[in-house]
């Protein structure tokens, strides 16, 4: 089955630690995205990548970093510089024919 | 003013009711319009996709786009308790790096 996987489903982090969230897709999509979702604030774009070895900042990139070394993979690192990292993180990829995005199941990050 | 406005609700209806969900937008360049459904603690899933103006029907769901009024709608006929979820509208235009502009989502509850 084609789709997007994210791991882990739940992640707990102590303050001051960096953590990396995994996102893998086998849909052969070129573009991938990371969003953050908080209650009442909708989806906010963190980073996006249209092709391998290239990525751009979204609306709330501060305190986050990404890499895109393979077409299938787009990991997100939440650094200790992110002041309020507790949130639900969603990864997506795009069908270039329609601009529709397909989402993974999400990772819920909690900072203790 | 946000580019895309969506009433967050919550909206509560009895089972079997017709539900109307709406978004307004300000950017006349938008060409691609989508509706996503998101269950609690899950990733959004694509429900309907429409290019430019017009109607599109898929089972109990109908999507409408009125570009002259900058208004899109999603209708759900014979609503079921399983339709209880948050519904997000999203839209994009060519040349926007395939980024979607999102509404905040409307929370819908269908009561048996």
B22-31: buried (b, 16+ CB within 10 Å) or exposed (e) per residue? bbbbeeeebb
Would you say B19 and B11 are in contact if contact means Cβ atoms under 8 Å apart?
Answer: yes
* Rounded Cα–Cα distance for residues A22 and A60 (Å): 19
Q: B83: helix, coil or strand?
A: helix
Give the whole-number percent of chain B exceeding pLDDT 70: 99
Predicted local distance difference test score (pLDDT) of residue B24: 97
Predicted local distance difference test score (pLDDT) of residue A72: 97
Q: What is the largest CA-CA distance in chain A?
A: 42
- Residues in A touching B97 (Cβ below 8 Å): 48, 50, 56
pLDDT digits (tens, 9 = 90+) for B63-72: 999 999 999 9
Predicted local distance difference test score (pLDDT) of residue A79: 94
Q: Say yes or no to pLDDT of B93 above 90.
A: no
CA-based nearest distance A107→chain B, Å? 9
Q: Say yes or no to pLDDT of A42 above 80.
A: yes
- Residues in B touching A96 (Cβ below 8 Å): 98
Is A31–B98 a contact, with Cβ atoms under 8 angstroms apart?
yes
Predicted local distance difference test score (pLDDT) of residue B1: 74
Confidence of residue B53 (pLDDT cuts 50, 70, 90): confident
Predicted local distance difference test score (pLDDT) of residue B99: 87
Confidence of residue A5 (pLDDT cuts 50, 70, 90): very high
* Rounded Cα–Cα distance for residues B100 and A96 (Å): 12
* Rounded Cα–Cα distance for residues B67 and A7 (Å): 39
Confidence of residue B47 (pLDDT cuts 50, 70, 90): very high
- Residues in A touching B41 (Cβ below 8 Å): 88, 106, 108
Q: Say yes or no to pLDDT of A37 above 90.
A: yes
Distances (CA, A) of A36 to A27, A39, A41, A91: 22, 10, 9, 9
Is A90–B41 a contact, with Cβ atoms under 8 angstroms apart?
no
Residue among B43, B98, B105 minimizing CB distance to A42: B105
- Residues in A touching B90 (Cβ below 8 Å): 101
pLDDT digits (tens, 9 = 90+) for A49-58: 999 999 999 9
Distances (CA, A) of B55 to B42, B52, B89, B92: 28, 10, 15, 18
Predicted local distance difference test score (pLDDT) of residue B13: 97
Strands A100-103 and B4-5: unpaired
Q: Say yes or no to pLDDT of B15 above 80.
A: yes
Is B42–A48 a contact, with Cβ atoms under 8 angstroms apart?
no
- Residues in B touching A43 (Cβ below 8 Å): 44, 88, 102
What chain B residue is nearest to A91 in terms of C-alpha separation?
Answer: B43
Q: Say yes or no to pLDDT of B96 above 80.
A: no
Phi/psi at B50 (5° precision): -135, 135
- The predicted model gives B85-107 an average pLDDT of 89
Contacts of B55 (CB under 8 A, 6+ apart): B62, B63, B64, B65
A41 in reach of chain B (CB within 8 A): yes
A89 in reach of chain B (CB within 8 A): no
Q: Say yes or no to pLDDT of A1 above 70.
A: no
The average confidence (pLDDT) of chain B is: 94
């Amino acid at each position: 089955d084609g789709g997007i996987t994210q791991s882990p489903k739940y992640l707990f982090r102590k303050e001051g630690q960096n953590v990396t969230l995994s996102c893998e897709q086998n849909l052969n999509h070129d573009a991938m995205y990371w969003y953050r979702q908080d209650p009442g604030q909708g989806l906010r774009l963190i980073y996006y990548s249209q092709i391998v070895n290239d990525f751009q900042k979204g609306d709330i990139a501060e305190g986050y970093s990404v890499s895109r070394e393979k077409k299938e993979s787009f990991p997100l690192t939440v650094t200790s510089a992110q002041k309020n990292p507790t949130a639900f993180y969603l990864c997506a990829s795009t069908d270039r024919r329609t601009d529709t995005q397909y989402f993974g199941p999400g990772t819920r990050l909690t900072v203790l | 003013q946000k580019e895309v406005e969506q009433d967050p609700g919550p909206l509560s209806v009895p089972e079997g009711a017709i539900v109307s969900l709406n978004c307004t937008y300000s950017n006349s360049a938008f060409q691609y319009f989508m509706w996503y459904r998101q269950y609690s603690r899950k990733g959004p899933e694509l429900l309907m996709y429409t290019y430019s103006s017009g109607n599109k029907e898929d089972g109990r769901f109908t999507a409408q786009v009125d570009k002259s009024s900058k208004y899109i709608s999603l209708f759900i006929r014979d609503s079921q308790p399983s339709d209880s979820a948050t519904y997000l509208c999203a839209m994009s235009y060519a040349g926007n790096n395939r980024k979607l502009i999102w509404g905040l989502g409307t929370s819908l509850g269908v009561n048996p």
